[in-house]
Chains A and B, each alone.
Chain A
């Protein structure tokens, strides 16, 4: 689509001079120029045809409307249009105001012919770069939206109801990127128990989403379905780490924090394995317990052996798994303290949706900006019926 230049000056002699000066240049460059003496007509024309307009060259002082007002109105219609002001005045304060209002350049009357052409060429060049950037950005946005939709289909949203446990999950990627590096999955294993995993790929956006898609592709098939004793969460992570280290051999700067919990319904025991992930919390009544051991993330050390920790469960216990987007404090950059977690968890336990309440309370503590993907996976253990 060719880009037009619109000229406006209330003095017809100025318009005539402009036409004479730029006609050969316009012909040479294939640029279409339009000339007006009325700023109101310009505003109306640009409103209807703004997609074809690259540059507006306008006089400053016009009886119908001054140039800066015209520029402000046109900017609201299309902020990609460039502006050059024609003026006879050299008041520095006024010039300062013009530049602050988004004017690309100004020309003093009477202008020098070559200078005018050079300014027009510069403005058109900047316009073209801006349009290319905008097109590129819109394409990227489309790709990210698509990636986000694909990731939504891969990550489960509704977990089938279990008699022994209520499972709830809430996932929010970074809004601007639509997809992210948080990963979660839940594997109900008939009446025996449930395996839940949560992970966080370093970085955001498409890169993280790609790794989560890779995890999804082999986690159940190669690790969950084949493993006989899933309560050994540490072994699960050890084998997963070896596999991921092979898959990510060419990407050593990508690490994946990961946590796996297996709830054995009959034994009423929680088995826990951790690979560099933020702590798990267990809310029992009104008391919050922190379950954690330090360990490297996946893909940091391919031969690391992860241990398994066991915790006895009681009916009514709520297991809380989150990613670091929820766990990190805004001010210090460290993790939220146990006191913060205790307060928030106790408040949200009364809420109809624990996860929504948790995310809301933590967001408030960060001035409503997480700055990261956020996942909350909670499991309320209801106990096992006798018999």
Chain B
């Protein structure tokens, strides 16, 4: 998966697009993350993290992520822990308002850097 940009279309309601630039990586999650697709999404996100250099940014663009279940939040939490170990800045960008409300109500947003 070591490409400048890429796209993975899921038949399980989550498409993943990504682009690399000099700052790091931008990953766009489109659709939803729940128990049915979290394993596949996890594999893709962690494979992309493995290919991101120390000190770079790993931006999750979430404007088209319409729903995230607790399994999905657990996945983001794990991604955050692993990115911190690799000294990569994990940033949540343009969080869809519905998802933002849910994450905010449940106290998760305070753990993530946002834009």
Interface residues of A (CB under 8 A from B): 200, 202-204, 252-255, 257, 276-279, 292-297, 299-301, 324, 332-335, 372
Contacts and interface: CB of A to CB of B under 8 A. Distances in A.
B52 to A, nearest CB: 18
A320 to B, nearest CB: 16
B98 A332 contact: yes
Contact of B74 (A204, A254, A279, A301): A254
A296 B111 contact: yes
A203 B77 contact: no
Given A255-B77, A294-B104, A334-B99, 16 more contacts: A200-B70, A202-B70, A202-B71, A203-B70, A203-B71, A203-B74, A252-B82, A253-B74, A254-B74, A257-B70, A257-B106, A279-B105, A297-B107, A333-B99, A334-B98, A335-B102
B63 interface: no
Contacts of A297: 70, 73, 77, 106-108
A283 to B, nearest CB: 20
A313 to B, nearest CB: 24
Interface of B: 32, 35, 38, 42, 66-71, 73-75, 77-78, 81-82, 98-99, 101-102, 104-111
Contacts of B110: 294, 296
The 7 closest A-B pairs by CB, nearest first: A333-B67, A294-B107, A253-B78, A202-B74, A202-B70, A295-B107, A255-B74
A335 B98 CA distance: 9
Contacts of B67: 333
B81 A255 contact: no
Contacts of B74: 202-203, 253-255
B77 A292 contact: no
Contacts of A253: 42, 74-75, 77-78
Contacts of A295: 107
Nearest to B78: A253
A300 B106 contact: no
B106 A294 contact: yes
Nearest to A276: B106
A134 to B, nearest CB: 21
| Residue from A293, A300, A324 with most neighbouring chain B CB atoms (10 Å) | A300
A334 B101 CA distance: 7
A204 B35 CA distance: 7
B91 to A, nearest CB: 18
A277 B99 CA distance: 15
5 contacts: A203-B38, A203-B70, A252-B81, A297-B106, A300-B111
A255 B102 CA distance: 15
B81 A292 contact: no
Contacts of A292: 105
Contacts of B107: 276, 293-297
Given A333-B32, A333-B99, A255 B104 contact: no
A312 B38 CA distance: 41
A20 B99 CA distance: 67
Contacts of B73: 202, 255, 297
| Residue from B66, B67, B105, B111 with most neighbouring chain A CB atoms (10 Å) | B105
B50 to A, nearest CB: 16
Contacts of B99: 333-334
B12 to A, nearest CB: 14
B51 to A, nearest CB: 20
A324 to B, nearest CB: 6
A301 B80 CA distance: 11
A37 B98 CA distance: 65
B32 to A, nearest CB: 7
B106 A203 contact: no
